[in-house]
Amino acid sequence: MSDKLLKVENLKIGARIYPPGEKPRNIDIVHGVSFELEKGKVLGLIGESGAGKSTIGLASMAYGRGGVEITGGKVWVNGREILGTNLKDLRKLRGTEVTYVSQSAAASFNPAKKIMEQVIEASLHQGKFSKKEAEARAVELFTKLGLPDPENIGDRYPHQVSGGQLQRCMTALALCPEPDLVVFDEPTTALDVTTQIDVLMAIKDAIRDTGVAALYITHDLAVVAQVSDEIMVLRMGDMVEHGTTDQIINNPVEEYTRDLVSVRSTQHDGKPPTDNPVLTVENVTARYKGTNFDVLHNVTMELHPGQTLAVVGESGSGKSTTARVITGLLPPREGKIHFDGRDLSSDLEGRSRDDLRELQMIYQMADVAMNPRQTVGTIIGRPLEFYFGMRGAEKKKRILELLEEIEMGPEFMDRYPAELSGGQKQRVCIARALAAKPKVIICDEVTSALDPLVADGILKLLENLQKIENVAYLFITHDLATVKAIADSIAVMYQGRVVRYGPKAEVLAPPFDDYTDLLLSSVPEMRLGWLEEVVQSRKMESAGN
């Protein structure tokens, strides 16, 4: 028992939900999960949204988030049972023995206090260290986590450091009181891939050096494979499979785990470009109103009929701005957009109804892209009515056809967006775009908010629809696995410029420019030891330079 730091037995968690128009009722979120964790080991909890990962993570601190209640089972930390203990004892446990790192560091830090103050707060509060000791320990952790200028970074406010740095500060915050267990709740999900790799390595080193145990919660199997010793796969509150990382990745037993492992392996053979591109972006330079710097510099790209052009880059690289220029929401300062053999007016007002109809857009957040007060039928039906003047039975027939194309049944016609799952919402948005019979659809990060398996389904649907309708996609994404799965040609963007552009086979083949190399090598691969290899090869490269 003594070497078992955390022991969870038959944990059951429930919540009270308030469905509209019905009586509130209790539901079970986690149905009897058990596991153990030894000192210095890392257990990865993995699953889709709603699997109960975070809920289990928080339960190891005997905490239930808003309305969530631990209804059964036992949790031991350091041999003490923590469920049912009083708040005073729990307060001693939380922040000293068990600490927590959340997904959004930006939302978790108090913007009005300096970082150092917040990092040492828990240690001071518990009386574990004096202020001086705690600060020394914080600086030591900053150094260990690879933060720049570790002596002074604590004097900055949270908004004065980057997202990746703040996430590392939060890791320092969690490690500062010398806890026995740290719960990492999706600590790298909100970061760009190139930043993620640094944070992952920093977390991994810090775990090894301090000897803490950790629960690492994520939806990304490739990430968890890099940091954990064991992996537990969860689905809808049930344990699917629990094993060593090696076994889960290389030898999964359950079908669901096998799906998760193989989800990123979809391949798509790039088609060669045709003679007449349907959409040409020519030397576009653009800036936002009221600012004095360009966010796009000389962007040029072509999209061919029935093909997919993937625009890849990190946040802030100008991907979405390019989409805004193409749709006419942001008139460019210089440059032109050609569409289907004609010049497009640079602003929205100057475009004809056919210009608008033939260029449709699908958004990242499907739930805000649909009016919550309109039914699916109204949402899909409006473009039919607006562009083609369809009414009554004719319109209904077409809506049903479209619903069938997106693999949803006629019963969805009268549903509201809130009554759909994330994947279904995105499908409805796709149907709305298709209803206009467009030549080009701009897909702005359409799969990033979705679980891997659901995203896979959406990608397959998009590919099928492309074959049927011969529509071209301008596919904006930060995820290179998605690019490999769907693109015919690729434009890599960095700081408002296209740094690499061409057919997929060429872009993804060496020799690479520096940025593309960094981007490609940062995408987590689903195998053990990948993280170390990348970090090692980068060290060698920089030593060689």
Partner 1 sequence: MIRIPPAALIGLFFTGLYFFVAIFAPLIAPYSMTEIVGDVWEPSSSEHWLGTDNIGRDLLTRMIYGGRTTIFIATAATILSFSLGSILGFTAAVVGGWVDQAMSRFVDLIMSIPTLIFALVVLSVMPVTLFMLIMVMGLLDSTRVYRLARAVAVDINVMDFVEAAKLRGEGRRWIIFREILPNALSPLVAEMGLRFIFAVLFVSTLSFLGLGVQPPNADWGGIVKENKDGIVYGIPAALVPAVAIATLAISVNLVADWVLNRTTSLKGGRG
Based on the shown chain and the rule CB under 8 A, indicate whether residue 361 belongs to the binding site for partner 1: yes
> In the complex, what is the shortest distance from the CB of residue 385 to partner 1, in angstroms, rounded to a whole number?
11
User: For residue 441, what are the CA distances in angstroms to 31, 45, 128, 148, 327?
Assistant: 42, 36, 58, 42, 10
CB of 56 to partner 1, least distance (A): 27
Residue among 440, 66, 149, 59 nearest 281 (CA): 440
| Cα–Cα distance for residue pair 283/300, rounded to 1 Å | 5
Determine which residue in the list 251, 300, 371, 470 makes contact with partner 1, applying CB under 8 A.
371
Binding positions for partner 1, 425-464, rule CB under 8 A: 432, 436
Q: Which stretch binds partner 1 (CB under 8 A): 42-50, 204-212, 279-287, 361-369?
A: 361-369
Residue 335, phi then psi, degrees to nearest 5: 100, 170
Of 379 and 492, which has the nearer Cβ to partner 1?
Answer: 379
Task: Give the residue from 381, 389, 316 showing the smallest Cα distance to 353.
Answer: 389
In whole angstroms, how far apart are CA 7 and each of 38, 71, 97, 208, 232? 9, 17, 14, 21, 14
Both tokens of 86, joined, read 């009083």
Tell me which of 177, 417, 423, 496 binds partner 1, using CB under 8 A. 417
Tell me the closest approach of the beta carbon of residue 327 to partner 1, in angstroms: 6
**Dist CA 486 CA 495 (whole Å):** 24
| Closest to partner 1 by CB, 157 or 416 | 416
C-alpha to C-alpha distance for 51 and 67, rounded to whole angstroms: 17
Q: Which is nearer to partner 1, 7 or 427 (CB)?
A: 427
C-beta of residue 25 within 8 angstroms of C-beta of residue 16: yes
Could you say whether residue 18 binds partner 1 (CB under 8 A)? yes
Interaction pattern, residues 376-395, with partner 1; x per rule: CB under 8 A: ------xx--x---------
For partner 1, give the closer residue by CB, 414 or 513: 414
**Three-state secondary structure along 135-167?**
HHHHHHHHHHCCCCCCCCHHHCCHHHCCHHHHH
Residue 432: CB minimum distance to partner 1, A: 8
Q: Which is nearer to partner 1, 17 or 505 (CB)?
A: 17
Residue 419 binds partner 1 (CB under 8 A): yes
Candidate segments 87-95, 177-185, 273-281, 416-424, binder of partner 1 by CB under 8 A = 416-424
| Closest CB to partner 1 among residues 224, 428 | 428
Which of 27, 368, 453, 509 lies at the binding interface for partner 1 (CB under 8 A)? 368
Whether 497 contacts 515, CB under 8 Å:
no
Q: How many CA atoms lie within 13 A of 266 on its CB side?
A: 22
| Residue at 143: amino acid letter | T
Residues in the interface with partner 1 (CB under 8 A) total: 31
Of 18 and 293, CB closest to partner 1: 18
Among 27, 107, 253, 418, binds partner 1 (CB under 8 A): 418
Q: Least CB distance from residue 331 to partner 1, whole Å? A: 14
Span between the terminal Cα atoms of the chain, in Å: 51
Site for partner 1 in 299-358 (CB under 8 A): 327-329, 348, 351, 353, 356-357
Q: Which of positions 223-262 make contact with partner 1 (CB under 8 A)?
A: none
d(CA 228, CA 512): 31
Question: Would you say 362 and 446 are in contact if contact means Cβ atoms under 8 Å apart?
Answer: yes
Residue of 63, 109, 184, 363 that binds partner 1 (CB under 8 A): 363
Among 1, 2, 3, 20, binds partner 1 (CB under 8 A): 20
Phi-psi category of residue 205: left, alpha or beta, with phi > 0 → left and psi -120 to 50 → alpha = alpha
Q: By the criterion CB under 8 A, which residues form the site for partner 1?
A: 18, 20-21, 327-329, 348, 351, 353, 356-357, 360-361, 363, 365, 368-374, 382-383, 386, 416-419, 432, 436
